[in-house]
Chain A
């Protein structure tokens, strides 16, 4: 009989036969395989969805950094020292800041202490005081208007000349104008502030920064100094070029107050790149942990079910040993089965995770962003989990004595 060989050799199971046997082993119990794989599916789906969503969301947050927010710096005296060192911010702030490379516009702004003076638009002494209203009064440098991207509905902004001469002119914020019943300036309306008359030269329609301006009466700094003794500007508002934030945030305090720049507080938006990273890291740490826990549960599930399967299939193991299977063949088959279960879970989980990312993005009209490596690595991760989980059951199966295994039948 030519087919017989020396019995000392060790034939290897062909890969195709091994696959066939493993797949047949899985297909014999499809419902159980599906349930077993569920843990891995949930874990991998959670991981992929988390990583995808955090990337999508951070991308979204960065996307929302419009030019206004990303070029906005406000410098003010540190609050603690505000009362004692009132002149940290100089009146020439605007001039000094505009010399910095990267500054598009700069101006200073201050709240004016009007000592209780009320505003009214008519020179009538109303005994009930209904026509007199209390409004915040602010003092702005000429450059501030550009720095806050102010837009007038009518009239003009006060200029450097108005400030230098301390002219009694004022711009009304939209809401302040409404309360004073002024909506046009072509007839040169005037308002009383206390008992002094100010000419309204412009009505502010909208601003991109310092929205409190809309409810205020704004005069020039020169006027505020002369009429109310304004000691110093309250803050410096800067609009930078895009990307110049870190540079200006560093230079501006020194330019404003070389001797006491440490007493200035700089409010600047964080670097978008850093913010993006920070957000992603926060989210990732939490959800990766969550996904990891699910994966661990999934791994335990696979180990558990594979072990049960080994114990149930003792007879089959015995039969295979009788048919010439070596211990390593038995181990390989069970390892392959558990690895395939893990990989299956990885594929299903990656699919579900990707769908979750796309679906959530669709409902929020976000652009889904997913690192293509994650869905591709997910089946490998699942397979690795299956391999590790299957190791102990596979060794148990391989260690069985064929005599004992056969005794239990199939």
Chain B
């Protein structure tokens, strides 16, 4: 990996769905996210936010332009290689937390290492450290149903931190949280950003967007930078 290359580099990227007639979800998107950047992408629903997130998260492919992740041309990777890229370089944080209901907080976090080809030794300790980093290690043996929404989101964040990803990719991370927990989550994000974590948050909540050092807006599939 080239440490000089940006984490995310989009050049003239576009995504078109269907053919008859084609729907352009994204058009000419240029975006560079450098190491340590914390970026919010805000926009109303239907603006192409989710499509952008899926492409940056290597869950979907662009139809035009280039996408380099850590300097790697994602379009040149096959299905399996993109799975590896997701597992190793991207930590996902979802609006609905996406915790496995029958696994404890610790097991949910440890799951993030299962597909990385890492040895099992020390996995428990690493998962505990991740839980500790988001201050929820005391709930490690709880099932998600026994945790509050805010606690569940912390477990999900701990899971995303496993494997030291290049990028934390957050999809409406506070969408299912009340205001108190939203503030707590944002404080946690501030903390992570201060630690040098590269973050990209997609949200329709302007308050969340304004907490980020860098803000962009997406409207009708086109990205505009605020500052």
Contacts and interface: CB of A to CB of B under 8 A. Distances in A.
Q: A and B: partners? A: yes
Interface of A: 1, 3-5, 7-14, 16-17, 21, 24, 27-28, 315-316, 318-329, 401-403, 406, 409-410
A323 to B, nearest CB: 5
A134 B159 CA distance: 103
A395 B116 CA distance: 22
B117 interface: yes
A324 B84 contact: yes
29 contacts: A3-B163, A7-B89, A9-B84, A11-B115, A14-B120, A21-B114, A316-B100, A318-B98, A320-B115, A322-B57, A322-B90, A323-B87, A323-B92, A323-B115, A323-B159, A324-B83, A324-B87, A324-B115, A325-B83, A325-B114, A325-B115, A327-B80, A403-B54, A403-B59, A406-B59, A409-B94, A409-B98, A410-B99, A410-B100
Given A24-B103, A325-B115, A403-B54, A11 B84 contact: yes
Report, nearest first, the 7 A-B pairs whose CB atoms are least far apart.
A324-B87, A11-B117, A28-B102, A324-B115, A409-B96, A325-B115, A326-B83
Nearest to A402: B59
A322 B59 contact: yes
Nearest to A10: B80
Given A3-B163, A12-B117, A321 B83 contact: yes
A314 to B, nearest CB: 11
Nearest to B87: A324
B75 interface: no
Interface residues of B, number: 40
B104 to A, nearest CB: 10
Contact of B102 (A7, A24, A403): A24
B101 interface: yes
B125 interface: no
A7 B85 contact: yes
Contacts of B85: 7
B96 A324 contact: no
B111 interface: yes
Most buried by A among B87, B120, B159: B87
Interface string B99-133: 11111000100011011111010000000000000
Given A11-B84, A403-B59, A323 B112 contact: yes
